[in-house]
């Protein structure tokens, strides 16, 4: 199996193209290959597949073997891969995802290669039961959650996958390892959840750290950055266009008033290529 190691702001993936469908035992394969000590090492295994609805189809298997409905950093990597490797010559393409349907992608080309990718991430889902949470409200904004004697307040957003945005005094120094896994599996979240810890510094910028469902702490999360801006607008913290600063770099996010869609702009990079034997 030939693969390409890629990343979006440090959120890294093993990208495989040329298959017609997911292989058997793909969950076990992802766990094996994504292991950072005994495998290639990555946050997820990404397959670029044929699509009947779009130019390409993306499937993402997390490092724990579970499947992700959507991933903003992965979709930018896929977009860069298909253009840079000659699978398309278009600078506007569509990519089918498991949880967010078909998404439109705009490529910025420099020197014959993709420099940045702007993704129409679609409309955010705000209904509590649809995110999903167990909270039956049209919008779950600044809602209390109790955990081991500590109370957090969260805002729930789905960007094709579920997110729980929590505001803290210092996101950069927040203890992800202590609270991330406990919040991910809290009973309020029936399908588990991605957890973003956010500090807003201005109406145009926020710091965010993430505990990703199925992957743990990662350097970046594109859907999490989108959820962060949506949540921050709902809470009155930021404007509808803002930069989200992650450990791996910055993403520009816009929640458009015109069509209610969220747009994410950021880079992707190739790291190396290789072949898995056996």
Instruction: Count the alpha carbons within 13 Å of 23 in the hemisphere toward its beta carbon.
Output: 15
What backbone phi and psi angles, to 5 degrees, belong to 82? -65, -35
Task: Return per-residue pLDDT of the chain as tens, 278 residues.
Answer: 999 999 999 999 999 999 999 999 999 999 999 999 999 999 999 999 999 999 999 999 999 999 999 999 999 999 999 999 999 999 999 999 999 899 999 999 999 999 999 999 999 999 999 999 999 999 999 999 999 999 999 999 999 999 999 999 999 999 999 999 999 999 999 999 999 999 999 999 999 999 999 999 999 999 999 999 999 999 999 999 999 999 999 999 999 999 999 999 999 999 999 999 87
CA-atom Rg of the chain in angstroms = 18
Q: Is the dihedral of CA 41, 94, 264, 208 positive or negative?
A: negative
The kind and range of the H/E element at 187 are none
Query: What percent of the chain is helix, strand and coil (3-state, nearest 5)?
Result: 15, 45, 40
Tell me the C-alpha distance between 232 and 15, whole Å.
Answer: 32
Nearest-5° angle of CA 163, CA 202, CA 196? 15
* 199 three-class SS: strand
Q: Give catalytic residues, as residue numbers.
A: 71, 221
Spell out the alpha helix ranges (H) of the chain: 26-34, 72-84, 176-184, 222-234
| Report field, pTM of the whole predicted structure over 0.85 | yes
For every residue of 25-86, DSSP letters joined together read THHHHHHHHH-TTTSS--SEEEEEE--SSSSEEEEEEETTSPEES--HHHHHHHHHHHHHTT
């Amino acid at each position: 199996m030939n693969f390409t190691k890629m990343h979006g702001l440090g959120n890294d993936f093993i990208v495989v193209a040329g298959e017609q469908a997911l292989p058997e035992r793909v969950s076990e394969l992802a766990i094996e290959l994504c292991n950072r000590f005994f495998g290639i090492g990555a946050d997820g295994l990404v397959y670029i597949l044929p699509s009947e609805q779009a130019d390409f189809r993306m499937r993402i298997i997390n490092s724990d073997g579970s499947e992700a409905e959507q991933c903003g950093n992965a979709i930018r990597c896929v977009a860069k891969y298909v253009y840079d490797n000659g699978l398309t010559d278009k600078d506007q393409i569509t990519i089918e995802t498991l949880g967010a349907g078909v998404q439109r992608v705009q490529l910025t080309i420099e020197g014959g290669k993709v420099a940045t990718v702007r993704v129409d991430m679609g409309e955010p889902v705000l209904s509590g039961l649809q995110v999903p949470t167990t909270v039956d409200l049209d919008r779950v904004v600044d809602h209390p959650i109790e955990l081991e004697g500590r109370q957090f307040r969260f805002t729930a957003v789905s960007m094709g996958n579920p997110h729980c945005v929590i505001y803290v005094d210092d996101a950069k120094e927040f203890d992800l390892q202590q609270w991330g896994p406990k919040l991910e599996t809290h009973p309020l979240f029936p399908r588990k959840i991605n957890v973003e810890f956010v500090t807003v510094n201005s109406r145009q910028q926020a710091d965010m750290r993430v505990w990703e469902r199925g992957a743990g702490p990662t350097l970046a999360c594109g859907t999490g950055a989108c959820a962060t801006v949506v949540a921050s607008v709902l809470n009155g913290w930021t404007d509808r266009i803002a930069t989200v600063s992650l450990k791996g770099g910055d993403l520009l996010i816009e929640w458009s008033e015109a069509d209610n869609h969220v747009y994410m702009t950021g880079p992707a990079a190739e790291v190396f290529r290789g072949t898995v034997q056996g």
